[in-house]
Structure 1
Amino acid sequence: MIIVITRPDFFDGEADCIIALLRSGRADLVHIRKPQASREEVMRLLISLPGDIYDRLVLHDQHQLAVACHLHGIHLNHRNPQPPAGWTGAVSISCHSFQELAECRQQPFAYMSLSPIFDSISKQGYRSAFTRQQIAEARAKGLIDERVMALGGVTFDRIDEVKEMGFGGAMILGDAWR
């Protein structure tokens, strides 16, 4: 699975880029991550997208819009640690350690991300937190499998490498918007 995460800011042509990523097959899902955005701003972006791709969109914030628009999923974070009332779609979460990943695996998350796998492209100084050996050991213990997505420094060119490491896919941010 290939998941692209939007930039935190809005930009001209963003809706067209999201549509192109999904329709071209470069992404299976797009996570709309706009941590500073108002409900109205996120809704404006959603309205600018065709309804036939809503089942491939995930919101990091303004989760109530995922309910109202029947989107694919929501992503939990420190700003939004619980699904909204009435939510029945996919739920994902980010993990930053093997311990956190082990705890999250006990929950019914559709998928989890583990980061940073490589040095980040979009966050200066955010370095890989895991060695290849640690990742291999975590995979052998069953911590890394098809439900775990690699995040952090992942590029489209590294997707095969990520799959060889045992991840179920990749979440891409910086490389998608360069």
Structure 2
Amino acid sequence: MGCNYFERWYGINDDSCGFGRIMRLIVITTERFFDREADAVCQLFENGLERLHLRKPCASIDETSRLIEQIDAAFHPKIVLHDHYELVNSFRLAGIHLNRRNHFGDQSSYEDKALTLSCSCHSFEEVAICPANLDYVFLSPVFDSISKAGYKQGFTAEQLSDARNRGMLNERVIALGGMTAESIPAIRVYGFGGVAVLGSLWAGFAADGNTGGLLERFGKLKTKCK
């Protein structure tokens, strides 16, 4: 555990305000499956996506397994599971993400797989008490959620600045909630290590299947993280 994949993704040039440092960009899947989802995911990987969080909270293990099987095996080491952790024994995946639905339990069956370990947090207090062996944590909702109606911004600018000044926001903390190409520059000044996107990337794609639009949105997000 704790293999610090992010340092191998990019050369980290840290500073107190986050300038001069590349922010990591993580994509989270939509909750529901949609037609040609595996094709869309593969195209994101082909265009530079380094980490995909596979989050399908209502999906069965068989449904989750089928989606992974449809994704080129070359990209499996970039996929993190939010559910059905036992699938790491069937596929060469990147890691496991802990959440309120699932806790890690017995780690012994996974320890030899060099997995990344991450979790979801919803307060600075939760970030502070996260185990040291976590590679990164999600903090949400930083801004109003795009994918979850009514899920409002959880922190003021003053609270974020204070957390940065106290060293609670750093390269291990990933901002989630309302992440868009327009909001990413505001996130950078608080010292976050990266952003996780869902609604701003996938919005409308399940309905129109416009891959060009999807890749254009991804490109803008990636550019803002540089």
TM over 0.5: yes
Q: 1:61 aligns with which of 83, 86, 90?
A: 83
Residue 127 of structure 2 corresponds to residue 101 of structure 1 = yes
Aligned twin of 2:158: 133
Shift of 1:19: 1.1
Q: Which of 1 and 2 has greater Rg?
A: 2
Per-residue CA deviation, residues 77-110 of structure 1 (Å, 9 max, x unaligned), is 1221115542240011010011111011x43111
Q: In structure 2, what residue type is equivalent to 1:133?
A: E
Give runs of aligned pairs for residues 120-159 of structure 1, distance below 5 A.
120-159=145-184
Residue 91 of structure 2 corresponds to residue 91 of structure 1 = no
Residue 74 of structure 2 corresponds to residue 52 of structure 1 = yes
Q: Secondary structure at the match of 1:156?
A: coil
Q: Which runs of 4+ in 1 moved over 4 A?
A: none
Distance 1:91 1:46 in 2: 19
Shift of 1:164: 2.3
Q: CA RMSD in A?
A: 1.3
Aligned twin of 2:222: none
Distance 1:89 1:54 in 2: 12
The 8 Å contact of residues 119 and 126 in structure 1, kept in 2 or not, is answered as: yes
Q: Percent identity?
A: 44
Scaled by the length of structure 2, what TM-score is found? 0.74
Q: Which 5+ residue runs of structure 2 have no aligned equivalent? A: 1-23, 204-226
User: Residues 143 and 46 of structure 1: is their aligned pair in 2 closer, same or farther, counting only changes over 3 Å?
Assistant: same
User: Residues 162 and 67 of structure 1: is their aligned pair in 2 closer, same or farther, counting only changes over 3 Å?
Assistant: farther
Shift of 1:70: 1.8
The 8 Å contact of residues 58 and 66 in structure 1, kept in 2 or not, is answered as: no
Distance 1:156 1:63 in 2: 31
Q: Secondary structure at the match of 2:76?
A: helix
Q: Secondary structure at the match of 2:192?
A: coil
Residue 188 of structure 2 corresponds to residue 163 of structure 1 = yes
Q: Which 5+ residue runs of structure 1 have no aligned equivalent? A: none
Aligned twin of 2:31: 8
